[in-house]
């Protein structure tokens, strides 16, 4: 994801749950950008993004995982009660936010977006959207007609279809923000394009964040497990292949737990 014109932020998840959260965050951001536009093509891709979100959210344990993570964060924050260095007002606000997310998510019937599967018109579009060119007017005349509706009508429809997904979006946004805020950035050096750092025993990290100067024209290959983090810096060559960089290169690293 692009941090600014001069710095690129890369994120690497250490487990499948965080990987799923990041994918959904990416899709929700794309959806938010597309819905506010007015062209039918943008709304077509907004609709296909909704279908992608439904596919990712169809994991049986996703809702349960998110609820467990919200409860875990509440338990962690409760331990800060009475700490003179912690603002009780700020703590109350965060706790209330977690309670709201948990209540809204728990109130969803079944999996996130499950209610949308009862909409036959939407499901007819979904069944054709995965086929190359499958949403042409001769395949889906009703969908073709919908794309000719005024932009405000299409936006209202999309907003209505997004509504059952909002509790999941809010929960993931809150959980990822708290996870990202848990890390402390450090300046490190990739010696001859290579960087490795052992991870302390007894502590489980869930997310790696890496900021690197865009003007260096370098691409990181990140890997990691519970014992070690490794970053190899690559550069795209004239042969359109990635080649290892042999330069000493600084970057910023944040490990979040």
Of the candidates 115, 12, 20, the residue with the CA atom closest to the CA atom of residue 63: 20
Q: SS3 of 213, please?
A: strand
Other CB atoms within 10 A of residue 124 CB: 14
Query: Tokens in use for 208?
Result: 């790696």
Beta strands 228-236 and 194-198, pairing class: antiparallel
Domains delineated in the chain:
16-179 (1.10.3900.10), 183-256 (2.60.440.10)
- Provide the pLDDT for residue 187: 97
pLDDT band at 2 (very low <50, low <70, confident <90, very high): very low
Over residues 99-158, the pLDDT tens digits come to: 999 999 999 888 888 899 999 999 999 999 989 999 999 999 999 999 999 999 999 999
Mean of per-residue pLDDT scores for the chain: 93
Q: SS3 of 81, please?
A: coil
Task: Indicate the helix (H) or strand (E) that contains 24.
Answer: helix 16-35
Whether the pLDDT of residue 228 is over 50: the answer is yes
Over residues 88-111, the pLDDT tens digits come to: 888 899 999 999 999 999 998 888
Over residues 33-60, the pLDDT tens digits come to: 999 999 999 999 999 999 999 999 988 6
Other CB atoms within 10 A of residue 110 CB: 10
Q: SS3 of 236, please?
A: strand
**Sign of the CA dihedral running 174, 179, 181, 187:** negative
End-to-end CA distance of the chain: 20
List beta partners, residue 7: 213
Whether the pLDDT of residue 3 is over 60: the answer is no
Q: Nearest 5°: phi and psi at 139? A: -85, -45
Longest Cα pair distance anywhere in the chain, in angstroms? Answer: 67
- Provide the pLDDT for residue 175: 97
List beta partners, residue 254: 209
d(CA 250, CA 186): 10
d(CA 39, CA 33): 12
Over residues 172-184, the pLDDT tens digits come to: 999 999 999 999 9
Q: How large is the angle between the packed helices 62-78 and 166-181, nearest 10 degrees?
A: 40
pLDDT band at 78 (very low <50, low <70, confident <90, very high): confident
pLDDT band at 5 (very low <50, low <70, confident <90, very high): low
């Amino acid at each position: 994801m692009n941090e600014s014109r001069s710095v690129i932020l890369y994120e690497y998840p250490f487990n499948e749950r965080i990987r799923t959260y990041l994918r959904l965050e990416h899709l929700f951001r794309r959806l938010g950008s597309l819905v506010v536009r007015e062209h039918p093509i943008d709304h077509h891709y907004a609709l296909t993004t909704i279908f992608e979100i439904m596919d990712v959210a169809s994991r049986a344990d996703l809702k349960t995982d998110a609820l467990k993570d919200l409860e875990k964060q509440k338990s962690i924050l409760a331990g800060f009660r009475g700490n003179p260095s912690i603002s009780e007002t700020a703590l109350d606000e965060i706790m209330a936010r977690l309670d709201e997310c948990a209540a809204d998510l728990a109130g969803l019937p079944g999996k996130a977006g499950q209610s949308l599967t009862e909409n036959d018109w939407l499901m007819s579009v979904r069944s054709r959207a995965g086929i190359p060119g499958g949403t042409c007017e001769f395949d889906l005349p009703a969908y073709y007609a919908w794309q000719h509706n005024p932009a405000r009508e299409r936006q209202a429809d999309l907003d209505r279809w997004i509504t059952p997904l909002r509790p999941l979006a809010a929960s993931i946004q809150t959980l990822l923000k708290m996870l990202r805020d848990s890390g402390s950035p450090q300046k490190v050096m990739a010696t001859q394009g290579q960087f490795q750092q052992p991870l302390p025993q007894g502590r489980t990290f869930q997310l790696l964040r890496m900021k690197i100067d865009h003007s260096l024209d370098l691409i990181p290959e990140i890997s990691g497990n519970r014992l070690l983090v490794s970053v190899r810096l690559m550069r795209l060559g004239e042969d359109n292949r990635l080649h290892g960089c042999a330069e000493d290169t600084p970057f910023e690293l944040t490990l979040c737990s």
